[in-house]
Amino acid sequence: MSDRTTSGRGRLYESIVDTIGDTPTIRINRIAPEGVTVYVKFEAFNPAASVKDRLAISIIEEAEKSGALKPSQTVVEATSGNTGIGLAMVCAAKGYPLVITMADSFSIERRRLMRFLGAKVVLTPRAEKGFGMYQKAKELAEANGWFFAGQFETPANAKIHQNTTAREIIGDFEGERLDYVVTGYGTGGTVSGLGRVLKSERPETKIILTEPANAQLVGSGYVNTRNEAHQPTESHPNFEPHPIQGWTPDFIPWVLQEALDKGYYDQLLPVPGPEGIAWSRRLAAEEGIFTGISGGSTFAVSMKIAKEAEPGSVILCMLPDTGERYLSTPLFEGIGEDMSEEELALSKSTPGYQL
């Protein structure tokens, strides 16, 4: 009989949105190289199962505070999925209608989850990429007088990571060694928010940024044009479609630009999508940690760092979401619905077998 016990969280919650944040930092025990310690900060523990829940609550509450968002006003946003799911959860809890624009190339389960949470999802052609869905959201906001969430530009983005994600890392590693933090980027809010805090309070900690190997926007050195509102006005010429959903839209967001301009990251390491898929599968099968392609890709880079780091090094890897967001993607290719030959043989190995 297990000796594990629980005693509750010591508080009662007024709303689902009050459970956002304070996600756990978990040690990797079986697949990390010898001589180094690897942790993951597992953002799937947020109520809508991704790091974007933090962004969603920050956008809405900052807009409520400023008066930019009026009671019962419709919210509109362009998203590859996780921000939309987070916004759908927050808007449902607070009573705001939500319209999402999303390229039709992103996983079907994401659009179904948003609709399940009460949002409307307007699909845009995949050929128009992220810039196309962004333009559609802007058009809808202007035509209807809706509140445009603007995750790629809003100061609410990096602010929430500065005030929550970074503070949690500082607290979890108080008095402990922390040599590297590894993160990818979508909007850039995580790296910019972490950079603001870690560069001043934990300057010995190196921040490693990663992006898809076949869509190296930061690595190209070219920054796409933006208008006076810091919104992109073109698709980045170095963008190519990649399997790491949630990472690297086809433009460099204004939120990310802060990290680039202020040197918040110490090294940029691109990663091929297939490596991310392979490491996501290993995390699930060998550590019981069920994350998506973006998490697997961040972990792939963390493993590269771990193999080259000096003995005793401590690495923290950001895992943005759950693997359940990727059931219809290449992450689950080869994972069958019916019994394999080995499973069928196990079934037949006892007298109770029935076809």
Tell me which residue of 43, 274, 15 sits closest to 164, measured CA to CA: 43
User: Among 41, 50, 52, 206, which one carries the catalytic annotation?
Assistant: 52
Containing 279, the helix (H) or strand (E) segment is: helix 273-282
- The gap between the terminal CA atoms of the chain, to the nearest Å, is 35
* Angle subtended at Cα 129 by Cα 78 and Cα 280, rounded to the nearest 5 degrees: 85
Among 50, 80, 192, 294, the one annotated catalytic: 294
Tell me the DSSP string of 96-133. Answer: --EEEEEETTS-HHHHHHHHHTT-EEEEE-GGGHHHHH
Backbone angles phi, psi at 319, to 5 degrees: -110, 110
50 is catalytic: no
- For 17, phi and psi rounded to 5 degrees? -70, -20
3 state SS for 282-295 = HHHHHHCCCECHHH
User: Using an 8 Å Cβ cutoff, are 40 and 25 in contact?
Assistant: yes
Residues in the chain: 355
Backbone region of residue 111 per phi and psi (left: phi > 0; alpha: psi in -120 to 50; beta: other values): alpha
Partners of 208 in the β-ladder? 182, 267
At 338, the amino acid letter reads D
C-alpha to C-alpha distance for 101 and 84, rounded to whole angstroms: 9
Q: Does residue 304 have an active-site annotation?
A: no
CA distance 71 to 68: 10
Sequence-ordered list of residues with C-beta below 8 angstroms from that of 57, at least 6 positions apart, any chain? 17, 20, 86, 90, 160
Positions marked active-site: 52, 294
